[in-house]
Amino acid sequence: MKETNGQHLISLFEHWAPKSLAVDGDTVGLQIGTLNKTITKVLVTLDVNLDTVEEAIKNGCELIIAHHPPIYRGMKNMRTDLPQGILIEKLIKNDIAVYAAHTNLDIATGGVNDLLANALQLENIEILEQTNSEQLMKLAVFTPKESTNVVRAALDIAGAGQIGEYQSCSFTSAGEGRFKPSDLANPYIGQANELEVVEEDKIEVVFPVSIKNKVLKALLTNHPYEEPAYDLILLESEVNKKGLGRIGKLPKKLILAEYAEVVKKQLNVPFVRVVGDLTQEVQKVAVLGGDGNKYIQTAKRAGADVFITGDLYFHVAQDAEAIGLSVIDPGHHVEQIMKHGVAEYMTEVCIQNNLLVEFISSKISTDPFQLI
Ligand SMILES: [Zn+2]
């Protein structure tokens, strides 16, 4: 096991929840301090407040990973006699960096919404509102027969040829290649100014556009020709679909009142607010962590019987009632599920990478509401 620095640690985190997944206008990434230092302990929290900063200090954490960005609305000053300035001053004086993973962590596979969907006992989980996807590319390359296996293997290692749950997918067909090298060429096969006919294979593979450079590098490094011939075509098919919220089915139908009890227990909250007929049966469930007021119609269109989301406004609740969509509001604080989820995921990643870093899930509730 070896020590690591903040940049390396966050690059591993962003492999899971890249900043590019965040919705437009969101504030994600490093917000306070620097990642250019050794990190041995990380506190994972939903919110950064004076209590969680104190917890980070007590535990000797050099980094906080938070879901809610502490700097969110445009900061106009940094006065150390006002709450936000006091918080930032305390973090800087104690050399604690803060990294925010907000909507990118909501959207990431295995992120906040998947954690909630799993806790809510959903099966056949799908994305509620797609926000991101990648186009596929197709590479067709012509290789002399003796090099086909080497080139195909290099493309495979670079990540090309993955289709759904199938890896190393490719198609190879045989044919004849013709070329005439010029005086200035340095041909692998053939002589200057003589037409050459070579038995060649055509290898075809697909890959997401994000790994284009890696695939091309693998091709050009492993192909024996001075000027390999290849076609690169952008396809209409999309892969790596990601999005906000999840929708799935309960293993069996439940009465809404019964399911509200399940939600309370599973999300560990003392109460929920419910919109809809408490005696109706529900099975298809949509969930969106945090504030899902904008997604009432999306949940209805997706066929949800009930939508689980927080911060429900009075008039949005009336709208939901009017369109016949039941809603269970367990509060915004249920997103605290990310504390354990992120700590567990990153602990596993660090073990795999032989890194000596401890992830601590904050024990402090940052829910401002009390039930009396
Ligand atoms: Zn939130």
Are the C-beta atoms of residues 283 and 250 closer than 8 Å to each other? yes
Backbone angles phi, psi at 206, to 5 degrees: -115, 155
pLDDT at 76: 87
Distances (CA, A) of 8 to 15, 45, 158, 356, 359: 11, 20, 21, 12, 15
pLDDT at 221: 97
Query: Could you tell me the distance, in angstroms and rounded to a whole number, from the CA of residue 290 to the centre of ligand 1?
Result: 4
Query: Could you tell me the distance, in angstroms and rounded to a whole number, from the CA of residue 6 to the centre of ligand 1?
Result: 24
Query: Could you tell me the distance, in angstroms and rounded to a whole number, from the CA of residue 304 to the centre of ligand 1?
Result: 22
Going through the chain in order, the beta strands assigned E by DSSP cover 4-5, 29-32, 38-39, 41-45, 63-66, 97-100, 123-144, 171-179, 196-208, 230-255, 273-275, 281-291, 306-310, 326-329, 358-361
pLDDT at 70: 95
Q: Encode 189-244 in three state secondary structure.
A: CCCCCCCEEEEEEEEEEEEEHHHHHHHHHHHHHHCCCCCCCEEEEEEEEEEEEEEE
DSSP secondary structure letters along 125-137: EEEEEEEEEEEEE
Query: Could you tell me the distance, in angstroms and rounded to a whole number, from the CA of residue 201 to the centre of ligand 1?
Result: 53
pLDDT at 165: 87
pLDDT at 32: 97
Residue in the block written with tokens 């903040």? 6
pLDDT at 212: 97
Are the C-beta atoms of residues 362 and 45 closer than 8 Å to each other? yes
Query: Could you tell me the distance, in angstroms and rounded to a whole number, from the CA of residue 73 to the centre of ligand 1?
Result: 14
* Per-residue model confidence as pLDDT tens for the chain (372 residues): 899 999 999 999 999 999 999 999 999 999 999 999 999 999 999 999 999 999 999 999 999 999 999 998 888 899 999 999 999 999 999 999 999 999 999 999 999 999 999 999 999 999 999 999 999 999 999 999 999 999 999 999 999 999 988 999 999 999 999 999 999 999 999 999 999 999 999 999 999 999 999 999 999 999 999 999 999 999 999 999 999 999 999 999 999 999 999 999 999 999 999 999 999 999 999 999 999 999 999 999 999 999 999 999 999 999 999 999 999 999 999 999 999 999 999 999 999 999 999 999 999 999 999 989
Query: Could you tell me the distance, in angstroms and rounded to a whole number, from the CA of residue 291 to the centre of ligand 1?
Result: 7
Query: Could you tell me the distance, in angstroms and rounded to a whole number, from the CA of residue 10 to the centre of ligand 1?
Result: 21
Query: Could you tell me the distance, in angstroms and rounded to a whole number, from the CA of residue 69 to the centre of ligand 1?
Result: 9
Q: Which of 216, 211, 218 is nearest to 239 (CA)?
A: 211
End-to-end CA distance of the chain: 49
What angle separates helix 337-352 from helix 6-16, to the nearest 10 degrees? Answer: 110
Are the C-beta atoms of residues 181 and 196 closer than 8 Å to each other? yes
Strand partners, 286: 247, 307
Are the C-beta atoms of residues 12 and 37 closer than 8 Å to each other? no
Strand partners, 271: none
* Rounded Cα gap, residues 113 and 197, in angstroms: 57
State which H helix or E strand residue 116 sits in.
helix 112-119
- pTM, rounded to two decimals: 0.85
Query: Could you tell me the distance, in angstroms and rounded to a whole number, from the CA of residue 33 to the centre of ligand 1?
Result: 23
* Rounded Cα gap, residues 98 and 91, in angstroms: 8
Other beta carbons within 10 angstroms of residue 141's beta carbon come to: 25
